[in-house]
Amino acid sequence: MSESEIQHERVVIIGSGPAGWTAAIYAARAELEPFVIEGGISRTMIPGGQLMFTTEVENYPGFKEGVDGQALMMEMKDQALRFGTRVLTEDVVTIDTSQHPYRIVTQYDSEILADSIIVATGANANWLGLDNEERLAQSGGGVSACAVCDGALPHFRDQVLAVIGGGDTAMEDALYLTKFAREVVIVHRRDELRASKIMADRALEHEKITFAWNTVVTDVLGEDVITGLKLKDTVTGDERELAVGGMFVAIGHSPNTGFLQGVVDLKDNGYVKTPVAWRTETSVPGIFAAGDVMDDYYRQAVTAAGTGCMAALEAERWLAHGGLEAHAPAAEAVAGD
């Protein structure tokens, strides 16, 4: 296929969560005719991102009664489509930045040339890998990977809640859940915490928090909603059941950046590095990052949407000021590195 026959876009947005669709809305209203590669369907991810597995979102502004996660994402998508956004439902395999326009290759060998790119592929919560865990997480049955997102929901109040993990995130989640739970049980596979001393001390001293040390979850119990956990002692091998009304997995997230290896600079933890604070441009001129793929701190839908707006505005201004041609010295410096 000749260069002239390949689809050529001014702005390509990779990803379809709050960051991706917000970027598309802003880019479309700026008459950049954005093209969104929204991703394919896998065992743990579908187009729309993590909110597609959330049945009730109560902390997104503008919905005083809360909103279904899938409904929120479809509203965002429809809003972007209203302004002329076009969509391809595939995953991106690689991006070739050796020449400009950049060349994007998708899983079914589609090739797209892009003057600018916004990466908004998000991050995947790390799960325990149990079948019933995944099923109940997807159906809203009391299993979650975001205590701040879901912990205040009515069905978690006055319940015994389990938090799985031993790092700072697990301690933060447990402490947050004490506002609503009758008791919070931290299940940790070791006999000491990985969390920082200050966070560990806060959890250890809290009257509502107890610990299940040297313990792993071997099964999640319940049909429509979680009713308990099957636990195994890693030292003795003894098994027991713990009745709970909710389980929050806090064993980290993995950013969806596999296709970006060697394309843009990544942090040690795999998240996209944005060299300038409060900016979304990556190490490659004309490639921007938004949402959880570059945010390893907040990881909220509303902050993802905010950075999607930022990325679209930056892409618009970058193109308006001449794109790569006007930034050739910077591009050459990056290539030289």
Q: Which residues are catalytic?
A: 146, 149-150
Phi, psi of 102 (to 5 degrees): -70, 145
- In whole angstroms, what is the distance from residue 291 CA to residue 18 CA? 8
- The Cα 318–Cα 315 span in angstroms is 5
Torsion of CA 26, 303, 277, 105, to 10 degrees: -60
Q: Are 118 and 131 within 8 A, CB to CB?
A: no
- Those residues whose C-beta lies under 8 Å from the C-beta of residue 172, and which sit 6 or more positions away, are 147, 199
CA 219 to chain centre: 25
Tokens (6 digits) for 31: 């008459």
Q: At 172, which amino acid appears?
A: E
Beta-strand relationship, 123-125 and 215-221: unpaired
Among residues 291, 249, 45, the alpha carbon closest in space to that of 147 is found at: 249
Q: Which residues sit opposite 249 in a β-bridge?
A: 164
The amino acid at residue 331 is A
The amino acid present at 144, given as its one-letter code, is S
Strands ordered across the beta sheet of 228-233 = 215-221, 228-233, 239-243
Residue 242 half-sphere exposure toward CB, CA atoms < 13 A: 30
